[in-house]
Chain A
């Protein structure tokens, strides 16, 4: 198992190099450019000299290849993602400050997805083709169909019109007041986890139906085990193996969702940072955020692969 983990980690190196290249190049393909933006916002007027000066100051006059290697070198040897073009603050510091917030939101959404999706999926499979099954499946489709930004906007707007209640707008850090922080994060986490829980529910249902047809379930029943034991101990453990894969696959989707919900609920996470940076063409921040998200997704998938071992002994004893 240890050798396996080391092998998996080594295999990540080319993936990460490739990801860093893509991130670096695509960010520079965003139309519009920082110099124009700086010049116009400073009312300097686009004069040739100041443009060249600015380019030199930001290191943008060098060829892209050398820009890339300088960027990569700084990451590897100094742990630095450069400085924000506007604020002049270290990008790494900014990201490390925001990362836990987004991570908390994502984790809560994942929790919602599993805690809602798995039991309902099991229920729906056990009650296949009954009213309960149809109702839960219809709700799942609804949850998938309603866009998160739309639900989020409704939650922001209607309760305040009807009852004068609106979600907290000022962000409260977890370290400051854990309970109020959790309460504040709960609504965006629910909305973020909504579609995910529907996907989990549908996969759990499908897998349970598949597993319940297996011979070993018949064996369990033939041994005189209670239905509940058979479902939970014998069927669910097998059905959850692909659900774990799904969690890995959905991780990037979840990240995408946080960008939007952080915006709506004014949560100062990575998503909000990214949106601000994109609108200002703040390349170091954009590349930094993308890179950190990429690394996170890759690591999550590694964790997912390793956690198969917990559920599937065939993987554990490989």
Chain B
């Protein structure tokens, strides 16, 4: 394996809340090779977005971040703001969850694409506009010249997400983070957007982190999957392996609960009884223990580490693997 493009080491994110600090991300390690794809899967609130915002260094103002984030050899946590700014766009890009809110309502689509190109590639307006048309065409937007002059509210959700993808791809990033890119979209559009992402990822040989709450989405679309629960990675394995031999009871529950395609975003998965734990009050033992049907005394007493005791190439955090 070549040198990793992204290597996340022991990331923690603490958010202040009225009930005390909330540990949204709790000691996550990840590595990602250039051009490879990683799926991050977990229920609503397990810290997927906070983890991606940590990588982008776009956490809420009051958030406390711990750990190291090495990207192409540089530690993003300590990188000066101006260098970080130059990295965002040409090397590191993101597509957010909700295309209804992720585009600026008062600026045209054209402005929002062109300004990105100008900020990084020093193009003049005419060249950047031409490039914008190409980009919109590449993400499957019909009549791109006209779309450039329109505002976000004149486009459907799926079209807006395509625009967001075009913006993210505009400076040829080495890593694209897609944070639940289809959750807010119609069922019929979801597959199209996912296919578009996969196609562009391969064409550009770009690394992709695909975040979702739907284990079904990452199957067949990623090289590796990390399952998150309560701010931690609880199982991580190459995708085919995960689906042939999952070890963590939570992953099993997630698979059983592959959400109906039309359930709205942020709904707790109904098939898993109970709710995720209160992250301002961490449990002493396994955080899945209250909902786990295999739980026993040991699970209550100590947290299982994320490890590969059998040396089979998959990590899991469980005392009683399946």
| Chain A contact residues, CB within 8 Å of chain B | 128, 214-216, 218-227, 229, 233-234, 237-238, 311-314, 317
**Is residue B86 within 8 Å, beta carbon to beta carbon, of the partner chain?**
yes
Inter-chain CA distance A225–B171, complex, in Å, is 12
Contact of B167 among A223, A227, A238, A317 (CB under 8 A): A223
Instruction: Please name the residue on chain B nearest to A241 by beta carbon.
Output: B106
19 A-B contact pairs sorted by A residue (CB < 8 Å)? A128-B61, A214-B101, A215-B101, A216-B103, A216-B104, A218-B96, A221-B58, A224-B85, A224-B87, A224-B89, A224-B116, A225-B85, A225-B115, A226-B85, A234-B104, A237-B107, A312-B106, A314-B153, A317-B154
CB-CB under 8 A from B94, the residues of chain A are 219, 222
CB pair B88 A238 closer than 8 Å: no
CB pair A224 B90 closer than 8 Å: yes
Inter-chain CA distance A227–B94, complex, in Å, is 18
CB-CB under 8 A from B90, the residues of chain A are 224
Q: Range of interface residues on chain B?
A: 20 to 34
**Is residue B178 within 8 Å, beta carbon to beta carbon, of the partner chain?**
no
CB-CB under 8 A from A215, the residues of chain B are 96, 98, 101-102
Q: A224-B86, A224-B89, A224-B90 are in contact. Are A219 and B103 (CB under 8 A)?
A: yes
CB-CB under 8 A from B58, the residues of chain A are 218, 221-222
Contact of A219 among B85, B104, B106, B171 (CB under 8 A): B104
CB pair B101 A223 closer than 8 Å: no
Seed contacts A222-B94, A223-B93, A224-B171; 16 additional CB < 8 Å A-B pairs? A216-B102, A216-B103, A216-B104, A216-B105, A219-B96, A219-B103, A219-B104, A221-B88, A222-B56, A223-B119, A224-B86, A224-B88, A225-B119, A229-B115, A234-B107, A314-B105
CB-CB under 8 A from A226, the residues of chain B are 85, 119
CB-CB under 8 A from B22, the residues of chain A are none
Inter-chain CA distance A216–B78, complex, in Å, is 25
Instruction: Please name the residue on chain B nearest to A234 by beta carbon.
Output: B104
Within 8 A of A (CB), among B12-40: none
- Provide the B120-161 mask, 1 if CB < 8 A to any CB of A, else 0: 100000000000000000000000000000010110000000
CB pair B104 A220 closer than 8 Å: yes
| Chain B contact residues, CB within 8 Å of chain A | 53, 56, 58, 61, 81, 85-90, 93-94, 96, 98, 101-107, 115-116, 119-120, 151, 153-154, 164, 167, 171
With a 10 A CB-CB cut-off, give which of A221, A237, A311 has the most chain B CB atoms: A221
Minimum C-beta distance from B229 to chain A (A): 25
CB pair A238 B105 closer than 8 Å: yes
CB-CB under 8 A from B98, the residues of chain A are 215
Q: A215-B96, A221-B58, A226-B119 are in contact. Are A237 and B106 (CB under 8 A)?
A: yes
CB-CB under 8 A from A233, the residues of chain B are 107, 115
CB pair B105 A225 closer than 8 Å: no
Minimum C-beta distance from B152 to chain A (A): 9
Q: A216-B103, A234-B104 are in contact. Are A224 and B151 (CB under 8 A)?
A: no
CB pair B56 A238 closer than 8 Å: no
Instruction: Please name the residue on chain B nearest to A223 by beta carbon.
Output: B116
Contact of B89 among A128, A216, A223, A317 (CB under 8 A): A223
Instruction: Please name the residue on chain A nearest to B86 by beta carbon.
Output: A224
CB-CB under 8 A from B56, the residues of chain A are 222
**Which 8 A-B pairs rank lowest in CB-CB distance, beginning with the nearest?**
A224-B89, A224-B88, A215-B101, A313-B151, A216-B104, A215-B102, A223-B116, A222-B94
Inter-chain CA distance A229–B112, complex, in Å, is 12
CB pair B164 A219 closer than 8 Å: yes
Q: A221-B88, A224-B85 are in contact. Are A313 and B105 (CB under 8 A)?
A: yes
Inter-chain CA distance A229–B151, complex, in Å, is 19
Minimum C-beta distance from A208 to chain B (A): 13
CB-CB under 8 A from A223, the residues of chain B are 88-89, 93, 115-116, 119, 167
Instruction: Please name the residue on chain B nearest to A217 by beta carbon.
Output: B104
Inter-chain CA distance A40–B116, complex, in Å, is 78
Minimum C-beta distance from B179 to chain A (A): 10
Inter-chain CA distance A220–B87, complex, in Å, is 13
Minimum C-beta distance from B203 to chain A (A): 21
CB-CB under 8 A from A219, the residues of chain B are 94, 96, 102-104, 164, 167
Minimum C-beta distance from B103 to chain A (A): 6
Inter-chain CA distance A226–B89, complex, in Å, is 12
CB-CB under 8 A from A214, the residues of chain B are 101
Minimum C-beta distance from A96 to chain B (A): 39
CB pair A317 B151 closer than 8 Å: yes
Minimum C-beta distance from A4 to chain B (A): 17
Contact of A225 among B116, B151, B153 (CB under 8 A): B116
CB pair B119 A224 closer than 8 Å: yes
Contact of B88 among A222, A237, A311, A317 (CB under 8 A): A222
CB-CB under 8 A from A237, the residues of chain B are 106-107
CB-CB under 8 A from B116, the residues of chain A are 223-225
Inter-chain CA distance A216–B171, complex, in Å, is 18
CB-CB under 8 A from B167, the residues of chain A are 219, 223
CB-CB under 8 A from B61, the residues of chain A are 128
Inter-chain CA distance A65–B13, complex, in Å, is 74
Inter-chain CA distance A317–B167, complex, in Å, is 24
Instruction: Please name the residue on chain B nearest to A218 by beta carbon.
Output: B58
Inter-chain CA distance A237–B107, complex, in Å, is 9
